[in-house]
Structure 1
Amino acid sequence: MKPKPTVEDLIGIEYAKLGFFREVQEKIAELNATNLELSRKQRHIQAILDSITDIMAVLSPRLRISSVNRAFHDVYQEAHPEGKTCHEIFRHADKPCSDCPALKAFETNQVFRETVIYPVDGKNRHFEITASPLKNERGQPCHILLLKRDVTLEKEYQAKYHQAERMATVGVLAAGVAHEINNPLTAILGFAEGLKRRIPRLPEDTNRELLEDFSEYVAIILKECGRCQEIVQGLLTFSREGSSEFSRVSLNKLVGDTIKLLKNHLKHHVRDLIRFDLDSGLPCVRGDESQLKQVILNLLFNAFDATQEKGFITLRTFVNQGDRVCLSVEDTGCGIPAHHLNKLFEPFFTTKPVGKGVGIGLSTCYNIVRKHHGEIFVCSHEGVGSTFHVILPREKHP
C-alpha cells in the first residue's frame, strides 16, 4: 500500500506545475517575439523585392507561382497570380515552352539566362530572363527565382545605333559611287544628245526603218540617262553633309507652304483627299526650312503612291508627352508588309514597281531628321494604311 502524499509533496507538485507553466509562457513569449521578428524581416525582404523594377516571381517545381513582387503586378495586372503557372500568365499557354529556362534551372541546378519576346498589352516586348535555383539544406533546387527584365528600349536603341552606323557608311559609299558614275554618265549623255542633233542631217536616202530605229534607240538612251541622273542626284542629296541654315521654323507654316507648292502639280480631286489637324499653339523648332520641307514632300509623295488617289491623307502637328514637336503623315492606303518595316529607311530599298522610285526618299528623310536631332519612324498595317511620325526638339529659348 502506497503512503499518502504529504502536504509538502502536494506543495512541491504545485510548484512544479507553476514552473512548467511559467516555462511554457516564456517559450510562447519567445515564439511570439520570433514570429514578430520573422514578420518584420519578411516585410523588409518584400519591400526590397518591391523596390526592384525588374519582374520577379518564385516558382515551384511544377512552375506554379508562389510569390511575386510589385513590378509583376504593375506589368501583368494580375490580382492573384499565386497558384497559376508562369506560361499561363506570360504566354497565355497551357504548357511550358520547349526551352523553358526555369525547367532547365531545375534539371541542372544551374542559372540560365536568355532573351525572349512576350506579348504585353497587345505589343511584343523583349525580356531578358534569368532563372536561378533556390536550394534546400541538401543543396537541391526546391524553387526557382525567375527574374524578367524588360530590355525592349535597349533593343530599340541598339537597332537605331546600328542603323545610324549603316547609314553613315552607306552615305560615304554613296557619295563616292555618285561621283564615279557621274563622269561617264555625263559623257554618254553628251554623245547621245550629239547623235540626236545629227539625225536630221543624215542623207535623205538613208533607210527609213533604220532611221526610225536609230531615233528610238537614242531617245531611250537619253531617257535612261535622265533616270540615272536622278539616281545620282539622289545619292548626292542623301550623302551631303554640307552646312545647314538653321533658323526658327514653324511646322504649321511649313506644311501650308508645302501644300501651296504642290497645288499646281496635283489634280483637283487629289487635293481634296488631304486633311489637316494642326495644333494652333504648336511651338517652333530650330531647323533648316528647305530640308524639313523636303521631308514633308517625300512623305506626302509616298502617301500619294500608297493611296493611289482613293484614300485619305491626314497631316497632323502636336506636342507629345515628352514636350517635343511632332508631325505625322497618315494615309489610308495599302500599308507596308511587316517584314519590310525594318528596312524602310535604308537607301535603295523600295516596295514600288520598277521605274516608280529608287528608294532614296525615305533614307534622305532619315538623314535630315537625324541632323535635326530628331526621330522618324512608321506605324503600318498592311491593307489598312501607314503613319509616318517625325519628332523634333522644340526651339530652346535663350
Structure 2
Amino acid sequence: MTLDELFPYVIRQLPIGVCVVNPEYNVVTWNNFFAERLNITEQEVHGRTLADLFPQQFAFLKRKIDSAFLLNHSSFSYWEQRPHVFQFQSSRPITGEETAMYQNIELFPLSAPEAAPEFVCIIVHDVTVQASYYQELRRMAGQLEQERDAQKELLRKLKETQSQLLQSEKMASIGQLAAGVAHEINNPIGYINSNIQSLKDYMQTYTQYNQSLMQLIDSTGLDKLIAQKDLLAEEKQINYLNEDIWDLINESLEGAERVIAIVRSLKDFSHVDSSEWCYADITQGIENTLKILQHEIKYKAIVHRDYQPELPLLYCQPMQLNQVFMNLLVNAAQAIEDKGDIYISVQTPESGVLEIKVRDTGCGISNEIQQKIFEPFFTTKPVGSGTGLGLSLSYGIIKQHKGDIQVSSQPEQGTEFCIRLPIVDEPTDKGM
C-alpha cells in the first residue's frame, strides 16, 4: 500500500473527529469518529447539510465556519465555554460509565497555497477525562475551602484574646518607625533643602551677572559681536533655560518642604515623645492623621471640618486615639465609590464631654451589619483586603478612655461614627 493509499485510511481511523464541509455547509466527508456515533457512513453523509444533521447546533457551527472562511484562519471552542457542541456519548476508561462527551472543537480552512479557502475542516477532541479530572479538582477545592472556613472559626477565639496585645505592639512599632524615619530623612532632606536654597541664591547672582554681561555686549555697538551673542543664546536656548531653571528650583524647594511636613506629621501622629497618657489637642491629632492619609483620601472625598474654637485639651493616649481616627477615616474613604464628602466635627455639646463625629457620603451600612461591625474579625471587605480588627480595636481604645462610640447609617445614604470622651483631670485609673 502506498502512502497516498494509506493516508485516507489513517484519517478514517483517527481517535478524533474529522469532518470537512464546503461553503454551503454541506458535508464533503467525515471519518469513523463521526460515522460510528451518528450511525451514518461516510458515503451516506456526503452532500448533506449541517443544518439537517445538527439543527440545534447549526447556528453556532455556521458562525464558526463563516469566520474560518472569511478570515482564513483557525477558530476554537473549548469545553469550559461550550461543553457539548455535538451530542456524543463518551465512556470513561476506568468506570465504563456512559456520559455526555466534553469536547474541544477546532475549525481551520483548507486551501491550496495562496488561494482562498475551499473547505473547512472540523476537528473534535474528546476531553471528557480531562474535564472530569478538572471538575473533581474543583469539587475538592470547594471542600478544602469549607474546611478552611471551619478552621478559621476554630482559631477565632484564640485570635480575639491576642488582638489587644497585637495592637499595643503595633503602636509601639509605629512609634519606633516614626522615630527612625524622622532621624533618617530629616538630616538628608535638611541639607537638600539648604543646598537648593543656596543654589537659588547663587542663580539670582548668576542671572544678574548674565544680564549685565549681555547689556555690556549690546552697549559696545559691535554688530558682529552682538550677532554672535544672539546666535549663541539661540543655539543654547538660553531664554528657555533662564525661565525653566527657576521653575525647577521652586518645585524642588516645594517638594523638600512637603517631605519635611510629612515627616513632622508622621512623628506627631505617632507621638514618639509622648506615647503615654498626657494632655493633647485632639484636632491636631486629626489633622496629622489627615496628612498621613492624604493620598488615600484626596482622590475620593472633600474633607469638611467643623472644630469648635478653643477646645479643651484631653487627657488621653494620643497615639491610640490617632489610630482610631485613622481607622474611621480610611473606612469613610473606602465607603465612597467615586467622589464624595467626609465631614469631621469636634465639639463639646455638654460640660465635661468631648464629641468627635466622622460622617461620609458613602454606600452606608445595613442594620444587620451595624450590629456586627465592632465584633473582632468581622469584615465586609474581600478576602485579603481587611482583617476585621480595625473597628473592634477602635472600640476597645475608646472604652479604655472611658468613652463611647456609636454608629448611625442607612444604605446608600452614608455613615456617621460618633465618639464621646470624658474631659477630666488626670485620672488615677487610666484604664490600662
The TM-score range, normalised by the shorter chain, is: 0.3 to 0.5
TM-score computed with the length of structure 2 as normaliser:
0.35
